Amino acid sequence: MNIKTLLFAIIIFFGCTPKNATTNNQNSRTTPTSSISKVMKTKPKNIILLVGDGMGLTQITAGMYMNGNKLNLEKFPITGLHKSYAYDNLVTDSAAGATAFACGVKTYNGAIGVDHDTIPIKTILEEAEENGLATGMVATSTIVHATPGSFIAHQKQRRMYEEIAADFLKTDIDIFIGGGKKFFNNRESDDRDLYAELRAKGYVMSDFFEKDLEDIQIDKTKKFGYLTANKDPLPVAQGRDYLMPATLKTLDFLDNRSDKGFFLMIEGSQIDWGGHANNSDYIVTEMIEFDNVIGEVLKYAKEDGETLVIVTADHETGGYAINKGSTRDSLVTAFTTDYHTAVMIPVFAYGPGSEAFSGIYENTAIYDKMKSAFGF
Ligand code: MG
Ligand code: ZN
């Protein structure tokens, strides 16, 4: 044990953290001598960013009580808050919100991977690709919707779904699973068959129409794209059930795919849609499904030991409140809007590099912290 390591162990023993320490492995706090090497490990190999669209503190709270007063989110050692506002509006939309995470810039509502002058900005997913990492995205909206779109595409407006789909050809994303089949091979603006183009680039392409995701053995020697619906996938309450198997298959696929690691974005897309619909049951069912997936991701990260997991939202939706008369089994809820709000948004982090996520910061800092955790 060298001097630096010994000093660190002593500091941990007395229960305080040195000002400049950039890591805090929770497990090592209780067993400093047995896993001291893990304490010193500040850089994650992999980052998994989970975005619960529209998942404000009330959405989390409602999901927690309706799930028997527990959530996997409670297992995260580090929590923080981010300021979600956009460049041109205190109330962000999902495009500007996701572009802040993906690119580290505040931009206008509707912008997909471009700054407020519509200049394309390289995303963390593209940077991961450039640095030799494997990459993936899983969403319960279409895969060309604002949140996943902002990690892979550069377009002036979020509604340009066919242009966003075409941008998938410009990266080497290793795996993507989500809705929106029609934007790939039944397009209105041109006759391009993006399935054929992606296959020519080494992808296995499949979809709900061809085969159930659960029945597919993904060929790890190829890249993989799977479309779960023609347009928007169903709400979980109406039978959508792919987020868990998609996540598990994606983790298995990305695990050790590159010795440099991987970047994976998973979106619980429809918590937001429950908020827009002012439908508390919709919010709660989507929230609980998302939290179940968070639990499995956390399990993976705990076993792996080199994975940083970050869970946050782009914004809150609905001005959702839990009011007087509520019990732990039955909530009396209300909404102030059918759109998003500007309230600060919780961030949860686990794993090497997680300590950087405590405190209050801009949504763009999520990008900065991920980039510095990767060491790009
Ligand atoms: Mg979204
Ligand atoms: Zn929304």
**What is the per-residue pLDDT across 67-108, written as a single tens digit (0 to 9) for each?**
999 999 999 999 999 999 999 999 999 999 999 999 999 999
Ligand nearest the Cα atom of residue 143:
1
Ligand nearest the Cα atom of residue 91:
2
- Mean pLDDT of the chain, nearest integer: 92
Domains and CATH numbers, the chain: 1-42 (no CATH), 45-374 (3.40.720.10)
CA of 191 to the centre of ligand 1 (A): 27
Q: What is the pLDDT of residue 1?
A: 43
Record the tokens describing residue 225, joined without a space: 């794209």
Ligand nearest the Cα atom of residue 56:
2
Q: What is the pLDDT of residue 26?
A: 41
Assess contact for 130 and 141: CB atoms under 8 A: no
**Up-side HSE of residue 67: CA atoms within 13 Å toward CB?**
21
Average pLDDT over residues 119-134: 98
Give backbone dihedrals phi and psi of 84, rounded to 5 degrees, phi first.
Answer: -90, 0
The beta-strand segments (E) located in 35-120 are 46-52, 78-83
CA of 348 to the centre of ligand 2 (A): 21
128 or 18, which is more confident? 128
13-22, 98-107, 278-287, 338-347: least confident range: 13-22
CA of 302 to the centre of ligand 2 (A): 32
CA of 164 to the centre of ligand 2 (A): 18
Q: What is the pLDDT of residue 41?
A: 61
CA of 336 to the centre of ligand 2 (A): 14
Tell me the C-alpha distance between 347 and 325, whole Å.
29
CA of 271 to the centre of ligand 2 (A): 9
11-15, 51-55, 178-182, 204-208: least confident range: 11-15
CA of 374 to the centre of ligand 1 (A): 24
pLDDT band at 23 (very low <50, low <70, confident <90, very high): very low
The secondary structure of 211-239 as a DSSP string is --GGG----TTSEEEEE-SSSSPPPGGGT
Q: What is the pLDDT of residue 16?
A: 42
Q: What is the pLDDT of residue 11?
A: 45
Give the catalytic positions in this structure.
Answer: 94
Tell me the C-alpha distance between 370 and 92, whole Å.
21
28 or 335, which is more confident? 335
CA of 100 to the centre of ligand 2 (A): 16
Q: Is the pLDDT assigned to residue 262 strictly greater than 80?
A: yes
Tell me the C-alpha distance between 2 and 98, whole Å.
43
pLDDT tens for each residue of 137-175: 999 999 999 999 999 999 999 999 999 999 999 999 999
What percent of the chain is predicted at pLDDT more than 90?
A: 89
User: Which residues have C-beta within 8 Å of that of residue 18, sequence separation ≥ 6?
Assistant: 8, 11
Q: What is the amino acid identity at position 235? A: P
pTM: 0.90
pLDDT tens for each residue of 30-41: 444 444 444 446
Average pLDDT over residues 201-212: 97
Q: Is the pLDDT assigned to residue 243 strictly greater than 90?
A: yes
Ligand nearest the Cα atom of residue 179:
1
If we measure between CA atoms, which residue out of 250, 260, 307 comes closest to residue 129?
260
Q: Is the pLDDT assigned to residue 7 strictly greater than 80?
A: no
Ligand nearest the Cα atom of residue 140:
1
